Structure 1
Amino acid sequence: MAKSKSLVKSEPTGEKSANAPLVAKKSSTPYQLDPAQVERAAKGLIAHMKKHAQEKEEKAGKKNLAVDEDDSADQDQAIFLNVSTKTHVHDSNRLKPTKLPLPHPIVGSDVRICIFTKDPQRAYKDLVASDEFPADLRTRVARVIGVDKLRKKWKPFENKRQLLALYDVFMVDERVTKIVAETLGKTFYSTKSKRPIPIRLTAGAYIDKSKKDDKKKQENVIGTPKGVAKEIEAALSATYVSMSPSANTSIKVGKLSMTPQQLKENVEAVVEKLVEKHIEHKWRNVRGLYIKGPTTKALPIWLTEEQWADEDKVLDEAPQRVITDGSKKGGEKRKKWEEWEEELLDDEDLEEKRQRRKAKKAKKGPEQSQSRSISKEKRNKLKQEALQSVQTPLIAS
């Protein structure tokens, strides 16, 4: 990359360096993914993960028939997209994940779903049991729990752990997301594996937002069977990102049973929506994109050459170094320390210290004390006069 007379404005960390590295303001970095690079990384990652899983199975020996296949962690491992940004990305709604649609769903068709709803609970149970609700989806919705029942029956920590183990996917009415999060606590929300997915249980119902007086009625609106079913299906065919105030975010984009082509298409779909909607300055703020397994190293699929996200942080010339004499500040600190130390000493020790200080000054002699009192200008003048008085040069030409 060609160098230019421009500099990245560093963050205010005190003294600025005049020897900052030169970088180019304009870079040839393409602000898009290379499909060939993504597919190569996907092939390499899937092949490595399958090889590692096979070696682990052979090392273990005979298969344990007592282990449930659904509980095997190595059966279909998750694949993640790691996003690294140049500046921190802030999102106040961390408890409410954002839905990103996927062309190839990660969740299987045989999952057991539990839905946390707004009260009354019976209304939503009847909605799922309705003939208009798709039969194949009804078999997957195993339980519907209202907020009141959730607070009463699953308040103890052990009960929450049991509830977490009973179902594969949890969903929550977006109107009670905060209440459910406070009730379930870190048992559900400490990790992203089974964090309840917000859905609209008012989908399909008509809401007249122009009538402000009917706000309570609007809060109790129940969606139609077809509308809610469509909302659940959309949630099952998507992945979720919960942006945190940091420079790194991890998003589940696939699983080991997928083909490299399917994984590539999922990665491209997620990156497009994520950069467009959730990252400030969009591509200019992205430092790198990687894909990885739960225990593998991250494979890069896109890296930037630029070090900044905003053109305003690029200077046309180097900042000047400010040189200050720190002797005065150091002297003040030393003086304060000596005063504090003298306050802690007894009268006899204090007098002894003062006598040692006087004796030390007397040993220096009048010549040394005189040289200390000479100013810098006068000392330089005396040095020049001494050099001029020498008949022969000190260094032969």
Structure 2
Amino acid sequence: MAKSKAVAKSAPKQENALAAKKSASPYQLDPAQVERAAKGLIAHMKKHAQEKEDKADKKNLAADEDDAAEQDQAIFLTVTTKQHVHDTSRLKPTKLPLPHPIIASDVRICIFTKDPQRAYKDLIYESSDFPAELRTKVARVIGVDKLKKKWKSFETKRQLLAEYDIFMVDDRVTKIVAEALGKTFYSTKSKRPIPIKLVAGAYVDKSKKDDKKKQDNVVGTPTGVAKEIESALSATYVSMSASTNTSIKVGKLSMTAQQLKENVEAVVEKLVEKHIEHKWRNVRGLYIKGPTTKALPIWSAEEMWVDEEKVLNEAPTRAITEGSSKGEKRKKWEEWEEEMLDDEDLEEKRQRRKAKKSKKDPEQTKSRSISKDKRNKLKQEALSSVQTPLIAG
């Protein structure tokens, strides 16, 4: 009896396990494939770096000390999708936590804060609760008003950009800071300010709408703000744009293949499930690569399309509607039709079009290219040049 009860109790667990297995997504990363690609990529990049160093005529001692971070090359995850990602480029990049941080420990951080900036300076530099090790990394705190007054010109913004390694911004003033910094900071994604919550640790009662101004002026606790900064330093960021190709920094050359594999798996899980429409059904391929290397595949989709019902066996026939843009519609339709043709059929179509144009009367073509007013003027000049014969009365 005891044995039968044990079997009965284990039966529901087995059924739940089978149900979970059936509901699991068939689209999964193969850890072995990711690790093989990581090992191959790291070995290739190190070999190439060694060959480059051996070919150098003279060893640059200053470069070994000052450009160590530059020698530790970045490794990227490239995600290609079947359909365009509809998430447009935003001022707030998507945060993807990493098990192994890729940002160096000796970085210089600049933080843009909501006014008054003195409150945040005291929180970071004066409070004993703020970690001393992290305090050494925060090199500067700049308020919005000071940013607008002191860094107006293009040259001063360029100097600010080059002076610090990482920039962070209070998420309450992200838009204001973006307008103040302009294209100098936001034309590329390399040093775009990372949004953080500087109210972290403080209690905010959102139920009281009348106290909105008080809520905007809330300053977080030293412990809460420190955790926000540390969390930002241990993550990677991606700004999703309306395209089929997205590149994300997931590692560096100094990492082991195991560390790179774990970072790739963590990023893929968060990115596909939360930030790509149709999730795995919309992913065409996943690759890892260095700054100048070829992409190594770690996952490839078997289906070429998200929805097979939308794939047509032949070009549809559409009637061109009347309107002012009739010529533009016809031109676009012909361009699309040419893309669908083979090389031989395309060449044959072009030859027919060329032969058709050559049959046209040159004089007629010339007359059509002249405006109506000019044609009437030429006609009047021709008539006036002919002498009218005298008629005998």
- Measured against the shorter chain, the TM-score band is 0.7 to 0.9
Pair 1:299-2:296 in alignment: yes
Who is 1:243 aligned against? 240
In structure 2, the partner of 1:18 is: none
**Distance in 2 (alpha carbons) for counterparts of 1:243 and 1:225:** 32
Question: Equivalent of 1:46, from 42, 48, 51?
Answer: 42
The one-character-per-residue Cα deviations of 1:337-363 (angstroms, maximum 9, x if unpaired) are: 798358565449999xxxxxxxxxxxx
Could you report, residue by residue, the CA deviation over 1:296-328 in whole angstroms, capped at 9, with x for unpaired residues? Answer: 11111111121211355257xx5696599x9xx
Shift of 1:273: 0.2
Q: Which blocks of at least 5 consecutive residues in structure 1 are unaligned?
A: 1-28, 352-397
1:119–1:201: structure 2 CA closer, same or farther, 3 Å change rule? same
Structure 1 residues 321 and 349: alpha-carbon distance in aligned structure 2, compared to 1, 3 A threshold:
farther
RMSD, aligned α-carbons = 2.9
**Residues 124-133 or 305-314, more deviating:** 305-314
Cα contact 1:53–1:74 (8 A) shared by 2:
no
3-state SS in 2 of match to 1:266:
helix
Q: For residue 368 of structure 2, what is the aligned residue in structure 1?
A: 340
Hey, what does 1:171 align to over in structure 2? 168
Q: Is the 8 A contact 1:69 1:75 kept in 2?
A: no
Say whether 1:195 aligns with 2:206.
Answer: no
Once the two structures are TM-superposed, the CA of residue 118 in structure 1 deviates from its matched residue by 0.5
**Secondary structure, in 3 states, of the residue corresponding to 1:47?**
helix
- Output the CA distance in 2 between the equivalents of 1:89 and 1:350: 64
Listed as ranges, the matches of 1:1-397 within 5 Å are 30-67=26-63, 69-72=65-68, 74-92=70-88, 94-129=90-125, 130-310=127-307, 312-313=309-310, 318=313, 340=368, 343=372, 345=375, 346-347=378-379
Percent of matched pairs sharing the same residue: 78
- Alpha-carbon spacing, 1:60–1:73, altered in 2? closer, same or farther (3 Å): farther
Give the direction of change, closer, same or farther, for the CA distance of 1:110–1:126 in structure 2 (3 Å limit). same
Deviation at 1:127, TM superposition (A): 0.6
SS at match of 1:234: helix
Aligned length: 316
Q: Look up the match of 2:338.
A: none
Q: 1:243: how far off? A: 0.1
In structure 2, relative to structure 1, the CA distance for the partners of 1:321 and 1:56 (3 Å cut) is: closer
**Which structure's residues are more often helix, by fraction?**
2
The unaligned stretches of length 5 or more in structure 2 are 1-24, 320-329, 331-355, 384-393
Structure 1 residue 70: Cα displacement: 3.7
Tell me the amino acid that sits aligned with residue 76 of structure 1. D
SS of alignment partner, residue 116 of structure 1: strand
CA 1:323–1:254: 2 relative to 1, 3 Å? closer
Aligned residue for 1:362? none
SS at match of 1:87: coil
Structure 1 residue 68: Cα displacement: 6.5
Q: Pick the structure with greater CA Rg.
A: 1
User: Partners of 1:323 and 1:291 in 2: how far apart?
Assistant: 42
Q: Deviations over 1:8-56 (max 9, x none)?
A: xxxxxxxxxxxxxxxxxxxxx9411111111111111111111111111
Give the whole-Å Cα distance in 2 for the aligned partners of 1:150 and 1:321: 57
Q: d(CA) in 1 for partners of 2:84 and 2:183?
A: 24
Query: Does the aligned pair in 2 maintain the 1:239–1:253 contact within 8 Å?
Result: yes
- What amino acid is the match of 1:206? Y
TM-score of the pair, normalised by structure 1:
0.73
State the AA in 1 paired with 2:280: W
